[in-house]
Amino acid sequence: MRRREEIFVLQVLVLVGSLFLRVPVLAADPPAEAPGVFYYLSETQAAPGDRTVLILSVKTESPLKSLSVSLDFDETKLTAVGVRRLLSSVDGDAVPPKDIASASLSNLDENAGNQTSEGWIHVEIDTTSFDSDLPLRASEEVPLLEIEFQVHGDASLGFSPVVFAIVGPDKAAPQEPLGNSVEFADRGAPAPAAPVSPQNVKNGGINIVGEVGFMRGDSSRNKRLDITDPILSLAFLFSGGDSLPCADAADADDNGALEVTDAVLTLSVLFLGFGELPPPNEVDRDPTPNDPLHCFEY
């Protein structure tokens, strides 16, 4: 009889154990996402070996106490140089923002390929006092950060995305991943950080482009030297004219800078028969490729 009881108890224990193993472990509910908060990152283009910047902007429908930004980039193509807090705008005047910012970044490339644990940037911006909010105009896209990158000299051509992501962890801090979140302004008890929805972010990046051939002095890129070339160069310099996608062509004297002397030299060659434009005098590659100007479109 005792033997049967022991067997019965053992069977009950086995049954209870099997039921316990089948019960799913209930995970904690994820924190509610931050409504009405949007993160934007710009796009730009650069050549291998260039430095360039991306602008991070934020739009919010509610006052914020703090925000956290985490970006992942391809460490095999880009190096993060630094982050600069942009000035605020009050009644048209640029003023220092009343907040504090801290940034950390990683340019590690110990493992082949692109991972979120390597090649990332994390920035936190917080108000300086308990009773103040971040200087963000409601429902308006406000530029906050200028992020500088160096494009690797051997980077392959094409678009290299820089995206909002959970990155890290930072080895210098507690071993926790770093994400994108905000803390809403609340005069009561501190509110927990709320993650920014993946649907509310616009990723950016750098289009790595190669240089193309051009003709010296041909700012208008119509493959001939005429009066429109110095006019375009002067408009760019003094009237806020359109950007010059082939700045190297506009550099008529080939000194590595866009100056009024470029237009003067072009006018002199056109109308006075005096002076000479450096090569290339027909569409060709730049014979001085190490200057800071480039030609991406011709």
pLDDT at residue number 189: 59
Look up the CATH number of domain 211-298. Answer: 1.10.1330.10
Which one-letter DSSP state was computed for residue 130? T
pTM, full prediction: 0.70
Residue 250 backbone dihedrals phi, psi, to 5 degrees: -70, -20
Contact criterion met (CB below 8 Å) for 126 and 98: no
Tokens representing residue 113 in the block: 């390929």
pLDDT by residue (tens digit) across 225-246? 999 999 999 999 998 766 788 9
pLDDT by residue (tens digit) across 40-75? 999 998 888 889 999 999 999 999 999 999 999 999
Which part of the chain is CATH 1.10.1330.10? Answer: 211-298
Q: Dihedral angle at the C-alpha atoms of 150, 155, 159, 165, nearest 10 degrees?
A: -60
Which one-letter DSSP state was computed for residue 75? T
| Architecture of domain 37-208 in this structure | Sandwich (2.60)
pLDDT at residue number 19: 44
14 Cβ neighbours under 8 A, 6+ residues apart: none
Counting as low any pLDDT under 50, the low residues of the chain are 9-10, 12-14, 16, 19-26
Q: Nearest CA to 168 among 179, 157, 158?
A: 179
pLDDT at residue number 161: 97
Strand 78-85 versus strand 64-73 pairing type: unpaired
Tokens representing residue 83 in the block: 């982050």
SS3 14: helix
Which part of the chain is CATH 2.60.40.680? Answer: 37-208
